[in-house]
Amino acid sequence: MRLVWYETAWDDYLYWQSQGKKMLRKLNKLITDVRRHPDTGLGKPERLKGDLAGCYSRRIDQEHRLVYRVNGDTIEILQCRGHYAD
């Protein structure tokens, strides 16, 4: 599956690159798992509702979530820092 990053999500990813390697490794592991199993797997995938209907969320840690949408063979990363629209 192909990855497409929203601009703010890419900024989030660059932020994690400047922080400790632990969070970046966890995020990369989640992204790899999303590519294999978009709606199941690591990070307790949760289908979102409301404004984010059609998207999924996975826990990076207690505070931060990976939010993405699957569109055909493309995974759109909406955010990877904060909790939903924070």
Catalytic residue among 37, 46, 63, 76: 46
Report whether 67 contacts 54 (CB < 8 A): no
Report whether 44 contacts 59 (CB < 8 A): yes
Catalytic residue among 63, 64, 76, 83: 83
Q: Where are the alpha helices (DSSP H) in the chain?
A: 7-18, 21-36
Indicate if 64 belongs to the active site: no
Indicate if 7 belongs to the active site: no
Determine the Cα–Cα distance for residues 25 and 35; give it in Å rounded to an integer.
16
As annotated, the active-site residues are 46, 83
